[in-house]
Amino acid sequence: MTNPLLQEWITPFELAPFDRIRDTDFEPALEVALKQEMDELLAIANNPDAPTFENTIDAMMAAGKALGQVLSVFYTLVGSDSNPKREALMREFSPKLSAHSSAITSNKQLFARIKTLWDSKDTLTLTPEQDRVLMLCYRNAVRAGSALDGAQETRLKEIKLRLAVLGTEFTQNLLADERDWYMALDKAAMQGLPDFLIKSARSAGKEKSMDMPIITLSRSIVVPFLQFSPRRDLREIVQKAWAARGANDGERDNRPLAQEMLALRQEMSELLGYANFAEFALETEMAKTPSNVRDLLMDVWKPARERAMQDQEILMEYMQKEGLNGALQPWDWRYFSEKRRQQEFDLDESEIKPYFQLDKMIAAAFDCANRLFDLDFSEVNLPLYHQDCRAWEVTRHGKHIALFIGDYFARESKRSGAWCSAMRSQSKFPQEQRPIVINVCNFAKSDPALLSLDDARTLFHEFGHALHQMLSDVTYEMVSGTSVPRDFVELPSQLYEHWLLVPEVLAKFASHAETRKPMPKALMDRVLSAANYDMGFQTVEFVSSALADLEYHLGAPKADIMGWQKDILDDLQMPCAIEMRHATPQFAHVFAGGGYASRYYSYMWSEMMDADAFAAFEEVNNPFEPQLAKSLEDNILSRGGSLDPEELYAAFRGRLPSVDALLRGRELAA
């Protein structure tokens, strides 16, 4: 029987035939696809004709289709619906893929052809996009070590191989810790918990084939439990379990893995001619240098910490009113903050949540995309990789634009967090292809599925990434959609969050799950007035993580990584009742592959732009102003990485933003 991963997919939307793919198909398919891509690239490298853009860069862009097809399916499954077989394959594939990449990088004939074109680029007749692709091909090759030889080249291959193995181990350790821990709730432990949380806890119990409600380490369950449980002893257990992910002694301990990764990244950076990994990583970003990143983060840290310390004093007063003395602890903050929110804004999460139904919020995200970009969404019935997934065809004026897949519920087989990925990206070369985009979230499953306001923001955030993929209109996949610098990629996603809280959007889609009535205006006003509530806490937990990430990559690592983390937080005078959003052993952004290593700050850099970009709509008092929406699509969403991001943003807004917009948006400005 022919391996379905290697066939041409004659399916609706050319979607992977998930109903025919088996785990046993991946290993043989990968071997074939690796050889095929290598043969294609060797043919380019050994071409006796003088290098041209067409016979070198275009040929490289057309290579590796089979490998992309195999990996698009595999990575989708291993992240969203893993199992022991897939985890074992990931451990096997990571070093193979690293070795394959190193073999390409070390091909001197291929690099010579790219360098010849780069050195003579002024004599070539290239489009702006081709010029950008050539620059990226050359820069990527140099940064991957193509210019090295001898012992340095050999050592770089060894480092990359080891980093690939460590990143996979880090991810699987974290998933295992999140999958295995739970706390059963008896009748006494359920006292004071809202109905939506009890329903989610019962659903989590069913997921584990247990006839009882349980608290798991899914953020969508942990956070509301810490908000609402009056049992301080149980809150402490849950908070400590949440903080201990990846930091338990034994074979799942991520601390030595992170320590080794930092040492290897420093060595790799020095081999490539950089003082440290932060300088290496930031060279390709909008921020450019570690000092620019630090300046931004410290400009935000100072007012955020000041606000958090003021809030901490207020929450301690709430705690003392309940007869509790001593310091406010991390397992106390959310509980007493929720009490304060109820009192100051007359808001209760259990009152708000019925108005944020998952289906309604999906419809809201689609409706905003329709009003802004003329996109229509029609649900389609397709064989997908999990029964919880749903799919929609995206069209514009009847023309197919994309296939969108939503995978919204938490489960044991899914890694934590939320993300957007493309099983296929938009491109026009070597032939036209439209994107297949997936949003993955980890919302608590219940009937009906209700979201917190933070969950609803996450849904809009990931859909903003999806729009970046769907509306892409470039020639080369290399610069398609979200293939942009890390500190620019969060602009479309964070910008889209703003439309969630547009009053007319809430009026249309925030309806009560039981009464079906729209959110009363008085409640909506309270929700909007509290939109930035507890921003000191939220900003401190994020910026502390970003500053630790930066500090870790500024030179040789210290011997004790957790001691180092403590020193960083002590220097910042971290409020005692707030913990990092991502402590080192669970900092998957930085250590599970390293896509955000030295770049976790990027959410905040993008926020400078998203606050300023939405202000353009506010200035004309129309969140759906047609010409601004068209400019947003034409200058940012459709352009991918085909031009420098500063050019793209300036084309939309006429200038670059400053940190002032960010501070105003978070209500942290003086």
CATH class, domain 354-529+603-665, is mainly alpha
Mean pLDDT of 654-661: 90
Domain boundaries, the chain: 4-105+107-144, 181-235, 255-347+535-600, 354-529+603-665
pTM surpassing 0.85? yes
Confidence of residue 1 (pLDDT cuts 50, 70, 90): low
Q: Are strands 399-409 and 376-380 parallel, antiparallel or unpaired?
A: unpaired
Q: What angle do CA 540, 546, 550 make, to 5 degrees?
A: 140
Question: Considering Cα of 182, then 187, then 190, then 195, what sign does the dihedral take?
Answer: positive
Q: CA torsion angle for 471, 473, 478, 482 (degrees, to 10)?
A: -20
pLDDT in tens, 291-347: 999 999 999 999 999 999 999 999 999 999 999 999 999 999 999 999 999 999 998
pLDDT in tens, 382-439: 999 999 999 999 999 999 999 999 999 999 999 989 999 999 999 999 999 999 999 9
b/e burial code for range 637-665 (CB count within 10 A of at least 16 → b): bbbbbbbebeebbeebbeeebebebbbeb
pLDDT in tens, 475-534: 999 999 999 999 999 999 999 999 999 999 999 999 999 999 999 999 999 999 999 999
Pick the catalytic residue from 279, 462, 607, 633: 462
SS3 letters across 469-535: HHCCCCCCHHHCCCCCCHHHHHHHHHHHHHHHCCHHHHHHHCECCCCCCECCHHHHHHHHHCCCCCH
Report whether the peptide linkage leading into residue 430 is cis, meaning its omega lies within 30 degrees of zero: yes
Q: Look at residue 459 in the predicted model and tell me its pLDDT.
A: 98
By the 10 Å C-beta count (0-12 exposed, 13-18 middle, 19+ buried), 468 is classed as: buried
Q: Look at residue 410 in the predicted model and tell me its pLDDT.
A: 94
Mean pLDDT of 128-132: 98
Q: Look at residue 593 in the predicted model and tell me its pLDDT.
A: 85
Whether 462 is a known active-site residue: answer yes
Mean pLDDT of 625-644: 98
Residue spans of beta strands (DSSP E) within 165-289: 182-184, 214-216
pLDDT in tens, 35-49: 999 999 999 999 999
Residue 619: pLDDT above 70? yes
Confirm if 349 and 530 have CB atoms less than 8 A apart: no
In CATH, 255-347+535-600 is 1.10.1370.10? yes
**4-105+107-144: CATH, from 1.20.120.1200, 1.20.1050.40, 3.90.550.10, 3.30.450.40:** 1.20.1050.40
Q: Look at residue 670 in the predicted model and tell me its pLDDT.
A: 72
Q: Look at residue 652 in the predicted model and tell me its pLDDT.
A: 98
pLDDT in tens, 71-99: 999 999 999 999 999 999 999 999 999 99
Would 255-347+535-600 and 354-529+603-665 be classified into the same CATH topology? yes
